[in-house]
Amino acid sequence: LVLVLSLSLPVADCPGTSSAEAGRAAACQGCPNQKLCAAGAAAPDPAEAAELRERLRSVKHTILVLSGKGGVGKSTFSALLAHGLAADEAKQVALLDIDICGPSIPKMMGLEGEQVHQSGSGWSPVYVEENLGVMSVGFLLSSPDDAVIWRGPKKNGLIKQFLRDVDWGEIDYLIVDTPPGTSDEHLSIVQYLSATRIDGAVIITTPQEVSLQDVRKEINFCHKVKLPIIGVVENMSGFICPKCKNESQIFPPTTGGAEKMCQNLNVSLLGKVPLDPQIAKSCDKGQSFLSEAPESPATSSYRNIIQRIKEYCDQHHFHEEKII
Amino acid sequence: ERSNLAGVRHILLVLSGKGGVGKSTISTELALSLWHSGKKVGILDVDLCGPSIPRMFRVQDNDVHQCDSGWVPVFVDQDKSISLMSIGFLLEKPDDAVVWRGPKKNALIKQFVADVAWGDLDFLIVDTPPGTSDEHISTVEALRPYKPLGAILVTTPQAVSVGDVRRELTFCKKTGLRVLGIVENMSGFVCPHCSECTNIFSKGGGEELAKHAGVPFLGCVPLDPQLSQSLEEGRDFIQEFPKSSAFPALAHIAQQILDGTSQRSS
């Protein structure tokens, strides 16, 4: 199979397997699935879309945690956001981990080894607290060595199941933790969640350019799919030596860090969080860093950021009655 | 017709289940170390969503040209002994997001493996994105006829990373990819002001995993702001900072790879 690709890559992306353009857009040239899409084989099933809408009807706020870059602290942040929002016992919080290949959430929430149970109304989330439920592929794997070696379509199928078959109940906040990148998982979650309304995306980065260059792409992705951006969090922003109290920039902001990027791209900088060895320890132990290290400067940063996200959601309060 | 990989002596993949542990960093530093040992090295960057390699060599503004046998890789040095291929070179604007589903990614990876005119190389290092999905399956399938040397797995010390890398080890087993060893990156930070070592991302998980899985442990690389800075600026860390704390570890990893290949040929 010899594909002719121009050496200056066309920017046009996959229009979406369910879009009207599927198989017909300029970007479809050379894609092995072009014929399939053009024939409408991948078109969304309207009954399926209705089913998703029904399931997600009782979700008040949805927040996606994204980053173009891996290892910047998406899962860490998602876990802490979940804990932070669930501190209000009157609120029901759901944390959905759609990183199919590298599901970190079970470990971070202290739920390693838990399995998913089925009931008449669907899959039960695994509860950390009464008001904090979690779902991840991690719960479907029987061994920590099990690898999920799946191509895109199969991953998409599981993500759909997570939204359709999990009995979340009434939720105030649905937090979706994602893998790094701008690919199947990201396109699919935005597509499936179009049945409900996504309040917005929180984008995580670290200060250095090697992260920012990926995060700018993620910001562009959000614009492309019309996903509002709540703001950016700069993680690993400096390290204070516990002995001499001097600060080191381990991941130097050589191009101005998240602050400059946010200015240039006109997005909000929600806050900067310094490195703290206790964060990694808490994640590994499955404990909330916010509770384990309440005096840490990182904790105050996280709490401020969570507060800003709460305020953003409150401003965009959404009625339960959705217009279909 | 001679395949474009016919002149490549050793192919090695740099993998991790986990993102942000330093795959591209290790790929880059390994390439530089091998180059300083007199080897001709190429890096194939199959991370299509987050291509980090071009900037690490300060060639992010370069273009890719065609020749009779395919695409000419981007040369980093005058002697043309370090060459690179990445989707980063094909983007019109550096902030353009490559929002592709699996099948389109797979098609480009097949082209990257078959159509880059590498010429004669001692080592082709393949830098990968995190995970065990389309890119990884396609890359391993496309490279299989060329019998890769194996894979280096990179992790950071903490359990959350090791947890993902365990799954990557399973991927290697299932796809018949030999594991050359595990690198524990970001293993400790020595404060430049007072020399106190803090284990910011914990310690020891990589070494433990290697022992548990019965694969070689290639070493611990500490956090070093000089290394981060070099990578940010696309500078030659191996040449500029031989006294840094990360240098001995990186040099040792390269040496083990070289020793491994000389054992194989003898």
CB-CB under 8 Å, B160 with A5? no
Distance from C-alpha of A52 to C-alpha of A321, rounded to nearest angstrom: 15
Query: Which residues 269-288 of chain A have a CB within 8 Å of chain B?
Result: 275, 277, 280-281, 283-284
The β-bridge relationship of strands A200-205 and A59-66 is: parallel
Q: What is the pLDDT of residue B123?
A: 98
DSSP state for residue B95 in the 8-state scheme: T
pLDDT, tens only, A75-88: 999 999 999 999 99
Q: Which CATH architecture has domain A45-322?
A: 3-Layer(aba) Sandwich (3.40)
A-B Cβ pairs (cutoff 8 Å, strict): 254
Domains, in order of start, for chain B:
8-263 (3.40.50.300)
3-state secondary structure of A320: coil
Q: Determine contact, residues A116/A109, Cβ cutoff 8 Å.
A: no
Per domain, the residue ranges of chain A are 45-322
For chain B, say whether A117 makes contact (Cβ under 8 Å).
Answer: no
3-state secondary structure of B62: coil
* CA diameter of chain B: 60
Distance from C-alpha of A288 to C-alpha of A292, rounded to nearest angstrom: 6
Distance from C-alpha of B90 to C-alpha of B88, rounded to nearest angstrom: 5
- Element (H or E) spanning B71, and its range? strand B70-72
CA A204 to mean position of chain CA atoms? 10
* CA diameter of chain A: 66
Distance from C-alpha of A218 to C-alpha of B95, rounded to nearest angstrom: 9
Where are the alpha helices (H) located in B37-85, listed in sequence order? 53-56
Name the CA radius of gyration of chain B, rounded.
18
CB-CB under 8 Å, B196 with A243? yes
- Element (H or E) spanning B23, and its range? helix B23-36
Q: What is the pLDDT of residue A29?
A: 74
- Which amino acid, residue B204? G
- Buried b / exposed e across B9-18, counting CB within 10 Å, b at 16+? ebbbbbbbbb
- Strand positions, DSSP E, A51-136: 59-66, 93-97, 117-119, 122-124, 126-129, 132-136
- Which amino acid, residue A232? V
Q: Which of A102, A160, A136 is nearest to B132 (CA)?
A: A102
Best A217, A221, A296 residue to mutate vs chain B (most B CBs within 10 Å):
A217
For chain B, say whether A254 makes contact (Cβ under 8 Å).
Answer: yes
CA distances from A120 to A67, A133, A167, A275 (A): 36, 18, 9, 45
CB-CB under 8 Å, A181 with B231? no
CB-CB under 8 Å, A102 with B17? yes
DSSP state for residue A125 in the 8-state scheme: P
- Joined together, the tokens standing for residue A9 give 């890559």
Residues of A in contact with B50 (CB under 8 A): 68-70, 180-181, 214, 217
Q: What is the pLDDT of residue A197?
A: 81
Task: Please return the burial class of A212, using the count of CB atoms within 10 Å of its CB with bins 0-12, 13-18 and 19+.
Answer: buried
- Joined together, the tokens standing for residue B189 give 């930070």
Residues near B19 by beta carbon (within 8 Å), at least 6 away in sequence: A69, A70, A71, A72, A102, A179, A180, B129, B130, B131
Q: How far is A310 from chain B (nearest CA, A)?
A: 27
Other C-beta atoms lying within 10 Å of the C-beta of residue B171: 24
Distance from C-alpha of A306 to C-alpha of A80, rounded to nearest angstrom: 9
Angle at CA of residue B51, ends B55 and A267, nearest 5°: 85
- Which amino acid, residue B83? S
Q: What is the pLDDT of residue A17?
A: 67
CB-CB under 8 Å, A220 with B101? no
Distance from C-alpha of A249 to C-alpha of A293, rounded to nearest angstrom: 22
Q: Determine contact, residues A13/B92, Cβ cutoff 8 Å.
A: no
3-state secondary structure of A42: coil
Virtual torsion, Cα A294, A299, A301, A302, nearest 10 deg: -120
Which ranges of chain B have pLDDT less than 50?
A: none
What residue has token string 């830098």? B127
CB-CB under 8 Å, A180 with B130? yes
Name the CA radius of gyration of chain A, rounded.
20
**pTM as predicted:** 0.91
pLDDT in tens, chain A (324 residues): 233 343 444 445 677 666 667 777 777 776 777 776 776 655 567 787 788 888 888 899 999 999 999 999 999 999 999 999 999 999 999 999 999 999 999 999 999 999 999 888 899 999 999 999 999 999 999 899 999 999 988 999 999 999 999 998 999 999 999 999 888 899 999 989 987 789 999 999 999 999 999 999 999 999 999 999 999 999 999 999 999 999 999 999 999 999 999 999 999 999 999 999 999 999 999 999 999 999 999 999 999 999 999 999 998 765 434 443
- Which amino acid, residue A186? H
Q: Determine contact, residues A285/A16, Cβ cutoff 8 Å.
A: no
CB-CB under 8 Å, B94 with A210? no
- Joined together, the tokens standing for residue A257 give 């860090």
3-state secondary structure of A33: coil
Q: What is the pLDDT of residue A194?
A: 83
* Cα-Cα end-to-end distance for chain A: 44
- Element (H or E) spanning B123, and its range? strand B121-127
Angle at CA of residue B194, ends B189 and B197, nearest 5°: 25
Task: Please return the burial class of A200, using the count of CB atoms within 10 Å of its CB with bins 0-12, 13-18 and 19+.
Answer: buried
Distance from C-alpha of A124 to C-alpha of A116, rounded to nearest angstrom: 6
Q: How far is A201 from chain B (nearest CA, A)?
A: 16
DSSP B188-250: -EE-TTT--EE-TT-SSHHHHHHHHHT--EEEE--B-HHHHHHHHHT--HHHH-TTSTTHHHH
Sign of CA dihedral B125, B131, B133, B135: negative
Torsions phi, psi of A56, nearest 5?
A: -95, 5
- Which amino acid, residue B169? L
Q: What is the pLDDT of residue A7?
A: 47
